Amino acid sequence: MTTNEQVMRYLSAMDYPAGKDEILREAQRAGAPPEVLRALRAIPPVDYANTNEVVRSARTELAPEVDAGERAGKARDRRHQRVARDLRSI
């Protein structure tokens, strides 16, 4: 599984705000390995304000120095996992 640090490394030159497709193109241009691209393909198709938002949305393994409380906080963060209002069933 890829880590937050790996994702951030391949998005260091990214200009934000950016959408999912732009983020994937930048990671491919930077030579990201398949596991990083897989994690980025799984992010919701919304606009991201910075790399931290991308990392929070990607399914990544946090760095080993991150404690269990921070891991739990990432798991609870549902900001980019919502369904758009117009796509909800009425």
**Per-domain residue ranges for the chain?**
4-87
pTM of the predicted model as reported, rounded to 2 decimal places: 0.65
Residue bearing tokens 């030579």: 31
The residue assigned the tokens 């994702």 is: 7
pLDDT one-digit tens code per residue, 28-74? 999 999 999 999 999 999 999 998 899 888 877 655 566 777 767 77
